[in-house]
Chains A and B, each alone.
Chain A
């Protein structure tokens, strides 16, 4: 969709290139994060796409069309543009700000009004309250939302975003990132996203382009960057805790051991106890006929009990959903200190189990399916 072919930029009056022979391709509908240390040329590279900075040599093309050969005004109107300093026009209301590009493209009034309302609702701002506010009457987070929404106004297929969440505190940034990813899920734009925050890059990027003093060092998926850093620079840049960062990236459902060993409520306690003894299990999960999780039993209590498992079942409250990321799972696990978390779906159905070792094995490269006192919990399913 957007291709960079041997792109270089040398600012007049300097002799070191700010961008040096960069080539890569951003597929349609993906977020490509450009990242690197300060002054490595991220902004320069991005602004060459909509020709706010003239290119020195090489070709940037969108959908196979060389941007240098396009009409510059048309080109810019067809690309959404959001910047770190937000750049809302202070003399215009929120409405007029969002309506800027639609007006340049001569949309009619009704269409603009409808679009503005739609966009404001999209980012959770009540149109009737915010429509006629001026930028100075907005909080930082609200202004940033308007900035992003303004770039989205005409539904452009391509968006350029230079640290769009840069001017905002970490907590609100998370909220905005999630919101943005949710929107992207629907609109599927091709996005060039500049940041210097590696967490943001890993979270937002389908691909990450890592720059060092104008050169493209590695262009890869976040996963690839973390697992196979190409050289020392990449390794240092993604940080010593890159293993932990992978936890952000991976979903519970990717790492959990499916079909964990468990028994049913109506099972006979003696049979289950015998089985636990043979397999050196201390604890065992308990589900009902529909595989809905009810809790767990303890071998010491079960031993010698005559009756059903359900008499001794203890509730298991530490559960995660398959869509959560591993970081959430790990923090749950650490805060309750029982060595596992159980994965259930929205209806409470038992899906799988995560334990410290599986987590570590995902993070590290070793894999070991034995799970401590919980025994071999992946192998056979129900006893």
Chain B
């Protein structure tokens, strides 16, 4: 095997320097806002809220995935196929509803607490997952399905050995989008008493204290970036190298 590494191009380098420069400028800025002082004084507080935040995202995303992917599979089975476009359009419309509205609506039904937050996050996170699962599965080349069927795979074998592996990249992209958005949306769960880093952000806004606000916002942003990076790794690991996507 010959492993060809892509030579890092000039533009990559430029972007790297821009990122480093921005990081320095940002560091100087947040220093002036008193961010580091705050972090040094309240490490326990931030840590606790971060864990809460991760928990909110983790639980809601896990539920979204375990509902969304099977829903996507169901919607592409023969008997449901005629509803597919209808459902996809509906989900498309739903996605335009702002996350804040979803949280507010759930609150009027379930009340206050982390359960409401998780419920709202699940609902909001479901859409990209279902959409991508349906799009991914429906996009699997008919020819290979025909080949699989012709060779005597039953529908379960066809699903697990052919359809899902081929749709995996698009399904994972949906999950990634959903989870990363979820990290941001989870900040709003403070509004319904759900905890998480939103606590610091919204308190900071209310008190007009940038140090407080940044102590919530920066870990949230880092978490989102980290999640995105992590999913990129998982994708490489799960999606077959036989499939290439540009």
Partners in one complex: yes
Q: Residues of A with Cβ closer than 8 Å to B? A: 50, 52, 73-78, 81, 83, 85-93, 100-101, 104, 134-136, 150-151, 160
By a beta-carbon cutoff of 8 Å, the part of chain B in contact with chain A is 141, 143-144, 146-154, 157, 161-162, 165-166, 240-244
Which residues on the B side are within 8 Å of A81 (C-beta)? 147, 150-151
Interchain CB contact under 8 A, B148 and A77 = no
Q: Closest residue of chain B to A87, judged by CB?
A: B147
Are the C-beta atoms of A91 and B143 separated by less than 8 Å?
A: no
B143 near A85: Cβ-Cβ < 8 Å = yes
Question: Could you give 27 example pairs across A and B, Cβ below 8 Å?
Answer: A73-B154, A75-B152, A76-B151, A76-B152, A77-B151, A81-B147, A83-B143, A83-B150, A85-B143, A86-B143, A87-B141, A87-B144, A87-B147, A88-B144, A89-B162, A90-B141, A90-B166, A90-B243, A91-B165, A91-B243, A101-B151, A104-B153, A134-B240, A135-B242, A136-B244, A151-B151, A160-B150
Chain B residues closer than 8 Å to A150, beta-carbon distance: 151
B residues less than 8 Å from A100 (CB atoms): 148, 151, 153
- Given contacts A81-B151, A88-B144, A104-B157, 15 further A-B pairs with CB under 8 A are A73-B152, A74-B152, A76-B149, A76-B150, A76-B151, A87-B143, A88-B147, A89-B162, A90-B141, A90-B166, A90-B242, A90-B243, A91-B165, A100-B148, A100-B153
A70 to chain B, nearest CB (A): 12
A91 to B145, CA, bound (A): 13
Asked if A92 and B240 make an inter-chain contact with CB atoms under 8 angstroms apart, the answer reads: yes
Instruction: State A150–B150 Cα separation when bound (angstroms).
Output: 12
Q: Are B242 and A92 in contact (CB under 8 A)?
A: yes
**Identity of the chain A residue whose Cβ is nearest the Cβ of B149 in the assembled complex:** A52
Neighbouring B residues of A87 by C-beta, 8 Å = 141, 143-144, 146-147
A-B interface pairs (CB < 8 A), number: 69
A104 to B160, CA, bound (A): 13
Q: Are A83 and B240 in contact (CB under 8 A)?
A: no
A75 CA to B150 CA in the complex, in Å? Answer: 10
| Chain B residues within 8 Å of A93, by CB | 242
Q: Which residue of B lies closest to A160 (CB)?
A: B150
Which residue in chain B gives the minimum CB-CB distance to A80?
Answer: B151
Taking CB atoms, residues of chain B closer than 8 Å to A85 are 143
Instruction: Choose one: A77, A92, A160; the contact of B152 (CB below 8 Å).
Output: A77
* CB-nearest residue of chain A to B164: A91
Chain A residues with CB below 8 A from B152, complex form? 73-78, 101, 104
Q: Which of B143, B150, B244 contacts A52 (CB 8 A)?
A: B150
> What is the minimal beta-carbon distance from A143 to any residue of chain B, in angstroms?
12
Q: Which residues of A contact B148 (CB under 8 A)?
A: 89, 100
The answer for the CA separation of A85 and B243 in the assembled complex, in Å, is 17
Q: Report Cα–Cα, A368/B154, bound state, in Å.
A: 62
| B150 CB contact (under 8 Å) in A50, A135, A136 | A50
Question: A77 vs B149: C-alpha distance in the bound complex, in angstroms?
Answer: 10
Q: Closest chain B residue to A151 by CB distance?
A: B151
Q: Are A89 and B147 in contact (CB under 8 A)?
A: yes
**What is the CA–CA distance of A223 and B28 in the complex, to the nearest angstrom?**
89
Measured between alpha carbons, how far is A100 from B165 in the docked complex, in Å? 15
| Chain A residues with CB below 8 A from B153, complex form | 100, 104
CA distance A197 to B192 in the complex (A): 71
Closest Cβ neighbor of B157 among chain A residues: A104
User: In the complex, A92→B168 CA distance in Å?
Assistant: 13
From residue B36, how far is it (CB to closest CB) to chain A in Å? 48
Nearest chain B residue, comparing its CB with the CB of A71: B152
B154 nearest CB across to chain A (Å): 6
Q: Compute how far the CA of A52 lies from the CA of B152 in the bound complex, rounded to whole angstroms.
A: 10
Set of chain A residues within 8 Å of B240, measured between Cβ atoms: 90-92, 134
